[in-house]
């Protein structure tokens, strides 16, 4: 269990229905439901998750159901909502992406509450005139697992983790600029196979297709910085995990970046300028004391995002519906 599902460990009386625990047969029925729903990213897997829940004992009890990925897996439970349950959902994507995925989002009007992982999500709800109770609660991180390790020495390695909503043109320019300035710099990229189509095939750029959490943590430990260049964003697993491991972040001021990367956790470039990002990254790579200072502040910020604290805030919101 990783990502946002981690919150289930800290919610009272929670039962998890996800892609592993959802129905996967009959596939023809599930894919037919997904086509009828007509939401851009609602799939047969989404239908299977919802049907498994709707056929469970929980659907017939008075309770609160919280959809961890409301912008992916919620539709049937909203449209078939009964008075026995309160319905809440978390939204992870920025406004433009939500418009693409959810259209008029009529089904969200059936919710009793919506958790926004960044304040920019509120723009979408206001634009669609969805008048439900909302709370802005950040993405959390397992600070016990993702923690600093004194046994690893930071190397001149730049780390990129993930693929979704990234500015690859800017990333290519930045990596080329870093390599020109520091020929010894190496780059590790952790992500799906599609990442290979976005980056030049160079020996100093190593792509690692989705690794387990232990291996990912090692990358956080030995890298010099996390390079996070979103085209738009709300929350990022990579950002909170890196900060929790004491790794400085170099990023650009887009979406909800500043709500996660607070001052002193890394360097935020106000303009999406390759030269500015290169200068920011080089300042960390070349100044060990700066890197250590940023890393300590990043760890302190991550402690504020510990799943226990985030879950307590979510629980309070759900109980108040």
**Could you tell me which residues come within 8 angstroms of residue 22 by beta carbon, excluding any fewer than 6 positions away?**
45, 48, 49, 50, 51, 52
64 closest CA partner among 89, 86, 90: 86
* Each residue's pLDDT tens digit, 145-184: 999 998 888 889 999 999 999 999 999 999 999 999 999 9
pLDDT tens for the 321 residues of the chain, in order: 568 999 999 988 666 666 545 566 678 888 999 999 989 999 999 999 998 889 888 878 888 999 999 999 999 999 998 888 899 999 999 999 999 999 999 999 999 999 999 999 999 999 999 999 999 999 999 999 999 998 888 889 999 999 999 999 999 999 999 999 999 999 999 999 999 999 999 999 999 998 999 999 999 999 999 999 999 999 999 999 999 999 999 999 999 999 999 989 999 999 889 999 999 999 999 999 999 999 999 999 999 999 999 999 999 999 999
* Each residue's pLDDT tens digit, 73-108: 999 999 998 888 899 999 999 999 999 999 999 999
Q: What pLDDT is stored for residue 14 in this prediction?
A: 63
**Could you tell me which residues come within 8 angstroms of residue 99 by beta carbon, excluding any fewer than 6 positions away?**
124, 127
Neighbours of 69 (CB within 10 A): 20
- Domains assigned to the chain: 3-140+307-319 (no CATH), 157-304 (3.40.50.2000)
Q: pTM for this one?
A: 0.94
233 closest CA partner among 119, 128, 132: 119
């Amino acid at each position: 269990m990783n990502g946002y599902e981690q919150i289930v460990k800290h919610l009272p009386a929670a039962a998890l229905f996800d892609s592993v625990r959802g129905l996967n047969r009959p596939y023809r029925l599930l894919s037919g439901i997904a086509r009828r729903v007509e939401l851009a990213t609602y799939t047969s897997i989404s239908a299977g998750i919802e049907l498994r829940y709707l056929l469970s004992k929980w659907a017939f009890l008075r309770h609160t159901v919280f959809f961890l990925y409301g912008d992916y897996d919620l539709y049937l439970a909203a449209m078939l909502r009964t008075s026995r349950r309160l319905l809440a959902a978390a939204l992870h994507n920025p406004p433009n992406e939500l418009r693409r995925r959810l259209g008029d989002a009529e089904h969200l009007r059936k919710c009793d509450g919506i958790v926004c992982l960044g304040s920019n999500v509120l723009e979408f709800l206001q634009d669609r005139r969805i008048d439900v109770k909302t709370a802005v609660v950040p993405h959390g991180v397992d600070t016990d697992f993702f923690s600093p390790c004194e046994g690893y020495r930071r190397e001149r390695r730049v780390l990129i983790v993930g693929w979704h909503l990234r500015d690859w043109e800017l990333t290519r320019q930045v990596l080329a600029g870093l390599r020109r300035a520091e020929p010894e710099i190496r780059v590790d990229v952790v992500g799906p196979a599609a990442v290979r189509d976005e980056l030049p095939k160079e020996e100093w750029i190593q792509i690692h297709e989705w690794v387990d959490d232990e291996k990912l943590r090692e990358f956080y430990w030995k890298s010099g910085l996390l390079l996070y260049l979103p085209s738009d964003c709300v929350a990022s697993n990579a950002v909170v995990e890196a900060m929790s491991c004491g790794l400085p972040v170099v990023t650009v001021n887009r979406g909800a970046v500043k709500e996660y990367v607070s001052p002193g956790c890394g360097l935020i470039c106000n303009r999406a300028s390759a030269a500015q990002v290169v200068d920011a990254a080089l300042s960390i790579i070349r100044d060990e004391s700066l890197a250590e200072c940023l890393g300590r502040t990043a760890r302190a910020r991550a402690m504020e995002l510990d799943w226990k604290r985030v879950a307590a805030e979510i629980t309070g919101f759900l109980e108040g519906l």
